[in-house]
Homo-oligomer: A and B are copies of this chain.
């Protein structure tokens, strides 16, 4: 924006990953930024859990960190994961790379370390003020003002800004204010999976090394449930067990005694449980929160308020794109600020551009749960993967990218929605061609590429 008064006071609710990156970027653009955060400063105190410990950082998220000049610093916090390492019930493993191209991998990173870095960087700007332990209790969208519980005086105070940006996550108070107003129609959905997740930990070896292969995202797919593991810098792994709360087969509500827990892990995850002597205690201690998807529209109100990141589009974690989507939000919002003459116009343009992409990655993440849990079930699925690896190794990105690559290692400008439409069509095309014996994994690459491209175009037409 050329005409905007840089003295505009921006209030951001929530100093999580999205809020701190957004605050940092707006400070770099010269705005005055205040951030209210209900939690304590994680740089000073141990922070209560309830959110995942480590995350998968990939290209869309890295673009956001690059925008604020932090890519190099963040890379030092990362452990590359080159692919999935699938563990079957016998303990046999097989690797499945994320890409057929060199240098395309995702990164395991600690949520806390990344957040601390972003807070430290934001704090270096004089025009950024971050207040912790201040819980927002009510929101006046039109006036970009909030009331909050001030932790120092233990009284309720008001904060009035010019612009209000809600980055307060899946349970967003700003979104709830949008839901309550009666001036415009606000569509919203909250969808829960029947599955919850429980985090566990594999400790490092005595000399601080990793007990299972370091550079993979490990998966123990078991049909209705699964376990995954991501590596941490200290040699530990964070495991996450995704399982239904109740029903036939293993369920959180029916695995509760010490013996049931032991039996469960010994039966389904015997190759990992040997590394977790205190698995029973961990299982008892750690919570099993639910997994939900939030969608809503519009994301903006009165030209003064916007929700961004999880507060506008919380998704399930199965594509490893939650943080990446939020960081990409910041990149797109930054562009919209540059391209529009007012905050109101930037808000509208941002919501309009970004909503279809948020819906797409929400759908993709839900799909991927099934794919991860069952990833050994369909034999043609493995053949498809082989063909895609060959194509990715041989051709440029513009000629072939798998659905996973389109989502995770996109060419510039390829949105989540583009990736979803093309990626789904490609998957169906390849599976159809295999099913009808029109291709085999050993066909010549040019033949494979042209048959797949042609069938993909037809599928896109037929699905559209």
Interface residues of A (CB under 8 A from B): 185-192, 194, 290, 292, 295, 428-429, 432, 458-459, 461-463
| Contact in complex: B432, A462 (CB < 8 Å) | yes
State whether A190 and B191 are in contact (beta carbons under 8 Å apart), knowing that A432-B461, A463-B463 are contacts in the complex.
no
For A187, A290, A429, the residue with the greatest tally of chain B CB atoms inside 10 Å of its CB is A187
Contact B190 A188 (CB under 8 A): yes
* Residues B194 and A185 in contact, CB atoms below 8 Å apart: yes
**Shortest Cβ-Cβ A-B pairs, 8 listed:** A189-B189, A185-B192, A187-B191, A428-B462, A187-B192, A459-B462, A463-B463, A185-B290
10 examples of A-B residue contacts, CB within 8 angstroms = A186-B192, A187-B191, A188-B190, A189-B189, A428-B462, A432-B458, A432-B462, A459-B462, A462-B462, A462-B463
| Docked CA distance A193–B189 (Å) | 14
- 14 extra A-B contacts, CB within 8 A, seeds A429-B462, A459-B462, A462-B463: A185-B192, A185-B194, A186-B192, A187-B190, A187-B192, A187-B292, A188-B190, A189-B190, A189-B295, A428-B463, A432-B458, A432-B461, A432-B462, A462-B462
Q: How far is the CA of A128 from the CA of B188 in the complex (A)?
A: 38
Q: Which of B191, B194, B428, B461 contacts A189 (CB 8 A)?
A: B191
**A462 to chain B: which residues have CB within 8 Å?**
428-429, 432, 459, 462-463
A219 CB to nearest chain B CB (Å):
25
Tell me the bound Cα distance from A189 to B290 in angstroms.
18
A185 to B429, CA, bound (A): 37
Q: How far is the CB of A377 from chain B (nearest CB, A)?
A: 15
Cα-based distance from A4 to B295 in the complex (angstroms): 42
Which chain B residues lie closer than 8 Å to A461 at the CB level?
432
User: Closest approach, in angstroms, between the C-beta of A191 and any C-beta of chain B?
Assistant: 4
Residues of B within 8 A of A295 (CB): 189
State how many angstroms separate the Cβ of A26 from the closest Cβ of chain B: 30
Query: Quick one: closest B residue to A425, CB to CB?
Result: B462
Instruction: Specify which chain B residues have a CB less than 8 angstroms from the CB of A428 in the assembled complex.
Output: 462-463
For A458, list chain B residues within 8 Å (CB): 432
Chain B residue nearest to A455 (CB atoms) is B462
Which chain B residues border A191 with CB–CB below 8 Å? 187, 189
Q: Closest Cβ of chain B: how far from A197's Cβ, in Å?
A: 13
Chain B min CB distance to A176 (Å): 13
Contacts of A190 in B (CB 8 A): 187-189
Q: How far is the CB of A113 from chain B (nearest CB, A)?
A: 32
CA distance A286 to B290 in the complex (A): 45
